[in-house]
């Protein structure tokens, strides 16, 4: 029948649309928690009910959702543990150019690592951001990831949708709550890379130490050989002096 595929497709769409009102397991977001706590199923999306209730009422409860970027910091004070070093790669690569970064004038030590720059200013205009995640992909320090916060309405289109550095800073624990699988995989990769780097550094130090020991041993052996050769060589007779030559001429 001509156009039958259209009717079949519309039937599937209608079935899914109607079914979403009756199947509680298909509830994927927790919107306006103060109104809908009684409607949450025992498991909403990827989270049990009690865990979903702990999340922000403006955050999706499925870890597959993505919205706008956020800046990660590790355990401790946000600005003392922020991963961003203000390299500005994300700012340069952003297609709509909605990221603005100013590098700090000084450096800070973080977690026993060498001192690094940090973002004095880090702004994202979410009214322009298209959630392409390119900033996440190009970041070499795993400092920027995607948040799942979706309720961002504001009466001020320009000022309210310009997220400042302190608005963007989120803890790694928060990241584990909204994207548990992704966060665990990212942390494992970071730990593996750090362990590999430390192992490589340790191997280089051991190789350098062995090379120094081998050089010292070779120098000691060469010196001992030289001393042995000097000891075995017979003593040379002293050269005749002028007095000895005169005595010989006189027949003495």
CA distance 92 to 24: 44
pLDDT higher than 70, residue 10? yes
Q: Which tokens sit at 82?
A: 């922020």
Window from 20-29, 58-67, 223-232 with minimum mean pLDDT: 58-67
In 45-199, the DSSP E strands lie at 47-48, 69-73, 99-103, 119-125, 144-146, 162-163, 169-171
Q: How far is CA 121 from CA 66, 84, 124, 172, in A?
A: 24, 11, 10, 20
Q: How far is CA 185 from CA 48, 65, 74, 171, in A?
A: 21, 17, 16, 16
Q: How far is CA 215 from CA 186, 206, 210, 220, 222, in A?
A: 43, 14, 9, 9, 11
Query: For the residues 133-159, what does the mean pLDDT come to?
Result: 86
The overall average pLDDT reported for the chain is: 80
Question: What's the distance, CA 225 to chain centroid?
Answer: 55
97: phi then psi, degrees, rounded to nearest 5: 55, 55
| pLDDT for the residue 32 | 46
Task: Please tell me whether residue 198 adopts helix, strand or coil conformation.
Answer: helix
Flag whether the pTM goes above 0.85.
Answer: no
Q: How many CA atoms lie within 13 A of 154 on its CB side?
A: 12
| pLDDT for the residue 24 | 67
pLDDT per position as a tens digit, 16-51: 888 777 776 666 554 544 444 444 445 444 445 555
Count CB neighbours of 140 within 10 A: 9
pLDDT per position as a tens digit, 107-134: 888 766 788 899 999 999 998 999 999 9
CA distance 86 to 99: 12
Q: How far is CA 235 from CA 19, 225, 241, in A?
A: 111, 18, 18
pLDDT higher than 90, residue 92? yes
CA distance 26 to 17: 11
| pLDDT for the residue 226 | 81
Query: For the residues 206-231, what does the mean pLDDT come to?
Result: 86
| pLDDT for the residue 35 | 42
């Amino acid at each position: 029948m001509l156009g039958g595929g259209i009717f079949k497709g519309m039937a599937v769409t209608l079935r899914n649309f109607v079914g979403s009102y009756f199947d509680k397991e298909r509830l994927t977001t927790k919107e306006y928690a103060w109104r809908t706590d009684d409607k949450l199923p025992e498991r909403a999306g990827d989270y049990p009910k009690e865990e979903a209730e702990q999340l922000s009422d403006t955050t999706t409860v499925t870890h597959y959702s993505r919205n706008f970027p956020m800046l990660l910091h590790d355990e401790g004070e946000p600005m003392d543990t922020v991963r961003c070093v203000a390299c500005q790669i994300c700012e340069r690569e952003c297609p709509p150019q909605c990221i603005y970064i100013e590098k700090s004038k000084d450096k800070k030590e973080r977690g026993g690592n060498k001192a690094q720059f940090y973002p004095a200013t880090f702004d994202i205009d979410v009214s322009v951001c298209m959630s392409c995640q390119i900033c996440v992909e190009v970041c070499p320090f795993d400092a920027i990831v995607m948040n799942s916060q979706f309720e961002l309405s504001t009466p001020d289109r320009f000022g309210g949708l310009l997220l400042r550095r302190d608005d963007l800073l989120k803890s790694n624990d928060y990241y584990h709550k909204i994207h548990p699988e992704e966060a665990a995989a990212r942390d494992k990769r970071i730990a593996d890379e750090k362990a590999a780097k430390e192992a490589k550094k340790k191997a280089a130090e051991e190789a350098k130490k062995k090379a120094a020991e081998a050089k010292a041993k070779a120098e000691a052996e060469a010196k001992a050989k030289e001393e042995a050769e000097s000891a075995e060589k017979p003593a040379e007779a002293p050269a005749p002096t002028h007095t000895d030559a005169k005595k010989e001429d006189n027949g003495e």
